[in-house]
Structure 1
Amino acid sequence: MTIRRALATCGLACLSLLSAPPAAAESYRTGACGDFTVAVIPDTQNYVDYRHQKWSGFPFDAVEQYYAQMRWIADNARSAGGDIVFATHVGDVWQHYSAWMDPEHAARGFKWIPNGGSEVAMSPKVHTRAFEIPVAVQGFELIAGKLPFSVVPGNHDMDALWTDPTHPPQPETGAAGIRHVGGLTGFQSAFSDTSPFFAGQPWYVASHDKGADSAQIFTAGKCRFLHIGLQYHAPDASLAWAAGVIARYAGLPTIVSTHDYLGRDGKRHLKSNPRNSILDPRDNDPEMIWDEFISRHDQIFMVLSGHVGGQGFSVATNRAGNPVYQVMADYQGRGQTAREAGADGQQVGDGWMRLMQFDLDADRPSVRVRTYSTHYGKFASDLPTYAEWYKAHDNQSALTDADYLKRDSFTIELTDFHRRFGAPGEVRRRR
């Protein structure tokens, strides 16, 4: 990606951000941050899947597990006396696609054939717009007004999943062909920058592509942080826009959320199918997003993602020589609650999400990462059967139960944080 090509596709929105002078870059803190938590909501697609509701013959309404997650976040928000100051949904809010092909790619000359091997692409389109998107919105209504939050589109939140006719499936070899996703009208109908969730909110500070990419400022005590949400396989224009946001809020510790980024092995994920960057020169896979954006901006210290069932963690070194903490969690494939209800083999999610508790006032700043189920009312570390239930499904059978649990209950030592952003009591000004 070149800056010229990115600006050509991004247009005036990115030009205005990049030409604006950086904010007066004082330290992100004017005093103590206090302990605070960021809630990470992994893929919720199986909760809102129309097939996982009583009216479709499922033994219970799986959407209630999703609502329970959102109520718990609201009840534990700082505004309600808790310690959660920000929530980020890492994408795949709902399950099914709502169109055969999106008009934008059709207008650019892309051809398509139906993806016959994918239930989510071939399902009745009416259920996505009539049920799945509305109940997803109802979930966010439970946290609206309680705390700042972000939601990014995953591949399932795009309008269409289609197959490139020049790379069709090959049943004789098992090759799935090359698929692409496109279209954001469904996502924008729910989470655009003009929606009641975000319009007029002082913490919602920037957006691009009608809210498919967005930026938020959240506070904890006397500290401010920047969060940037990027759409699935963020195109060049999205990365150029995000670079402008970084320039505008220079010096603020920054977290990036995007749907597909890290794999279970801690490496940036390159096995996704669809993988848009194969077909579309505007799109960027996780390695490209690292090379062209994340690694170039030293104030980005953490990247959060989902998409890949299970958990992943690694530390990468950016171009300034500083660490970037990469964290992945996706629990959509868990089905213990379905098993208990007589629907063995069905995947729901079981109410699991990530809670990241920050302690930035200590001499050794850290983030305590824990995994909590609002259905079972327990942390993973408090559930004796946790590994028995989930280890095999997460393709981690080779691990001991204790080592498997460590993937969902661990501490990140932010050894560089005070040096990069300022220690307690220290106020710096950059020009």
Structure 2
Amino acid sequence: MFIRHFPGVLVTAALGVQAFSWPNDPYGQTELTPAPKGCWSPDSESKQFTLVVMPDTQYLYDQNRIHPVPMEHAFEYVTSCNDTRENIVFMAHLGDVAQNGLAEEYQVASKAFERLDEAGVAYSMLAGNHDIDSSTDDTRGSTPFLDAFGSKRFANSKTYKGSNKGGYNSYHIFRAGGREWLLLALDWRMSNSSFDWANEVLTNHSTLPAILTTHELVSPDTGKTEFSAYGDEVWNKLIKNHDQIFLTLNGHFWPAGRTHRTNSAGNRVDSHITNYQNRYYGGAGMIRLYRFDLDKNTIEVSTFSPWIHGLMKHGKANKLALQEASLTSDEDQFTMSVNFDKRFSRSNSTKTKRSDVKEVIPGTLAYWRFDGHENQTPVTSNDTIRDLSGHGNDLKFCGVNESAHHSMRWSNAHHPQQPGHGSLNFTGQKQPLRGSYFQTVDHAPINYAQFEHGYTFEAYYYLPSSWSSDQNAWSSILSRWGTAGQANKTGAGVDPDEPIVSLSLSDDRELQWRAYPLHKNVGSTNWGHESPFDTWWHVAVVNNGTLTKMFVDGCEVVRNPEQWVPGLTTLNQPWMLGGYEYNGTINQIFYGSIGDVRIVNRPLSIEEFLLHSCAGPTTSPP
């Protein structure tokens, strides 16, 4: 939908509606204003940061009554670099984007949100009762809302970590105050399977402080703010047993209000209603700021309309607008006290913190290490391996069948020169296929990386003498989902069923880097020598944008081809650690141990490797 102005007449092209437009009327303006160039660049390590909340905007997008300008001004405020004090790290919309759930309403609203997309702002969306059929739960299927604000919209988001099967519930992980935070964005009405999904997300990220957002939770209908009937269901099925949830936010009802409950761990959970659609100009694009100060253990809350403040600046705010510029009641402006260190001490106890990792050098896209676990304890489906680069390329557990459970273990064994003092012990075999592996989460940024300007892949590995050529040949340390055939590679020597990138071990335990570069139909192969048993090794594959070379323990191998191989082909699918696909299915799982793995988007010198010298072999049983 687009909207055009003619002198005295407003023509809404998609709706076919004509109406008189008062000249120079800032309140009747419905035209999308040119988007300013935002410079959103929050300081993720600062102890002071801001979460922005935007409640129901439905009256701004109501059939032929379309007024995106107040929302645009709110987004301009979020992306502005004029007030660095705010340090805005995330924005959460609370649902009811539009009034009638119509495609033409979301077409205009979606255009406004492009301002956030273009600036790279981290934000979340969820459906309110006006966005969908309110009599349905999140198994309802496709809707105009989901078409506009489903998972496809967040394909390039660095904070978006996934959605449930139906797509109406999602979660984000953002970094602020030197730590990671989890935000759940939940549907108007969750099905039982979605409650299971949300519980699993919280369990898998149990060390992260969590904020839960949804459209309905607490209500003022009884004269005081308390949980609604559906809110009680969410509390009992989800909130009360996950101590990491310290704050819930919802819209739907008015006036604004706040309450709190005590969870099963005996800790306080604050719950707030934020909604201003009943006020002048449909809420006037009102936003609420939650200003965190981790040094003071406070969250200062304020509520205002950036659009009205802009009108005031130019002397154009009318009497009713002036009353709405900033809201100062006890429900709209207040300070919360939260002892973050005490409440979330578990997330501070992690042995490896991003700020302490000197191995995260410029250009690092992903860095995984496996220390900090009790030796020989099983890896479970609830375990997630954090990307210490801070880019969100986390690894999730995967298994081929029931045998996957307890088939992988944490180990303290490692190469003496390995930064992380731990590894993963894999026990995969081919016949019958069994074992488990890890892969990058859906929409991890590295899934889309093409490495046009070069790359360095590094890994530590160990093969025990029980390794078998029959059972363990052609298993991968690291590989990328997607086959040569799916990537339309048709050149000489192409096996259409093999993966587009893999670092594997042959039946003679020779390292093989097999990769399909960008803009070429043929693959390229680097070969190492036979890997001796019961010895830790470091391998690095380095591409300078033209040639690729393999190094073992910092020493260049002989079988490096003289072949132009720019970048790496991607089908925008995950990377696997310890898994190998063939013809679109898992074909083999690693047997042995894998230590630290680092991926950098530029060629590194030998001096920059995780292993700093061409050292002799070192042995240590896993």
Q: TM-score, normalised by structure 2?
A: 0.44
Equivalence for 1:314: 259
Equivalence for 2:202: 246
Confirm or deny: 8 A CA contact 1:35 1:83 kept in the other structure: yes
**Structure 2 stretches lacking a partner, 5+ long:** 1-43, 311-316, 352-371, 374-622
Matched, 1:411 2:335: yes
Confirm or deny: 8 A CA contact 2:54 2:92 kept in the other structure: yes
Aligned amino acid, residue 420 of structure 1: R
Cα gap change, 1:183 to 1:156, in 2 (>3 Å)? farther
Confirm or deny: 8 A CA contact 1:253 1:301 kept in the other structure: yes
Structure number with larger C-alpha Rg: 2
Deviation of residue 183 (structure 1)? Answer: 5.0
Q: Structure 2 matches for 1:31-70, cutoff 5 A?
A: 33-53=46-66, 62-70=67-75
Supply the RMSD in Å over aligned alpha carbons: 3.5
Aligned partner of residue 274 in structure 2, secondary structure:
strand
Aligned partner of residue 376 in structure 1, secondary structure:
helix
Deviation of residue 251 (structure 1)? Answer: 0.6
Pick aligned residue for 2:144 from 186, 189, 199? 186
User: Which one has a larger percent helix, Structure 1 or Structure 2?
Assistant: 1
Matched, 1:225 2:147: no
Q: Distance in 2 between matches of 1:181 and 1:386?
A: 42
Cα gap change, 1:180 to 1:217, in 2 (>3 Å)? closer
Cα gap change, 1:249 to 1:76, in 2 (>3 Å)? farther
Aligned amino acid, residue 158 of structure 2: P
Deviation of residue 39 (structure 1)? Answer: 0.3
Matched, 1:374 2:306: yes
**Structure 1 stretches lacking a partner, 5+ long:** 1-30, 54-61, 98-127, 164-178, 271-284, 338-347, 391-401
Equivalence for 1:351: 285
Deviation of residue 387 (structure 1)? Answer: 12
Give 4+ residue runs of structure 1 displaced > 4 Å after superposition.
179-184, 385-390, 428-431
Equivalence for 1:153: 127
Matched, 1:292 2:250: no
Aligned amino acid, residue 136 of structure 1: A
Equivalence for 1:93: 97
Superposed CA offset, 1:266-310 (max 9, x none): 20123xxxxxxxxxxxxxx11100001011111111111000022
Matched, 1:74 2:79: yes
Matched, 1:142 2:115: yes
Aligned partner of residue 266 in structure 2, secondary structure:
coil
Equivalence for 1:133: 106
Q: Distance in 2 between matches of 1:77 and 1:227?
A: 26
Deviation of residue 182 (structure 1)? Answer: 5.0
Superposed CA offset, 1:158-178 (max 9, x none): 1x3569xxxxxxxxxxxxxxx
Aligned partner of residue 301 in structure 1, secondary structure:
strand
Q: Distance in 2 between matches of 1:157 and 1:181?
A: 14
Equivalence for 1:331: 276
Confirm or deny: 8 A CA contact 1:161 1:182 kept in the other structure: no
Aligned amino acid, residue 405 of structure 1: S
Deviation of residue 88 (structure 1)? Answer: 0.3
* Higher relative contact order (CA closer than 8 Å, sequence separation 6+): 1
Equivalence for 1:267: 226
Confirm or deny: 8 A CA contact 1:230 1:238 kept in the other structure: no
Superposed CA offset, 1:333-375 (max 9, x none): 112x5xxxxxxxxxx222211110001123xx11101001112
Confirm or deny: 8 A CA contact 1:77 1:146 kept in the other structure: no
Q: Distance in 2 between matches of 1:64 and 1:388?
A: 17
Aligned partner of residue 327 in structure 1, secondary structure:
strand
Q: Structure 2 matches for 1:156-167, cutoff 5 A?
A: 156-158=130-132, 160=133
Aligned partner of residue 96 in structure 2, secondary structure:
coil
Cα gap change, 1:428 to 1:39, in 2 (>3 Å)? same
Q: Distance in 2 between matches of 1:305 and 1:74?
A: 23
Cα gap change, 1:320 to 1:184, in 2 (>3 Å)? farther
Cα gap change, 1:387 to 1:423, in 2 (>3 Å)? farther
Aligned amino acid, residue 66 of structure 1: M
Percent identity, aligned pairs only, is 31
Q: Distance in 2 between matches of 1:240 and 1:387?
A: 44
Superposed CA offset, 1:60-86 (max 9, x none): xx22112221222122599x8851100
Deviation of residue 233 (structure 1)? Answer: 2.1
Q: TM-score, normalised by structure 1?
A: 0.63
User: Which one has a larger percent strand, Structure 1 or Structure 2?
Assistant: 2
Q: Across the two proteins, how many residue pairs are aligned to each other?
A: 301
Confirm or deny: 8 A CA contact 2:110 2:148 kept in the other structure: yes
Cα gap change, 1:161 to 1:260, in 2 (>3 Å)? closer
Aligned partner of residue 283 in structure 2, secondary structure:
coil
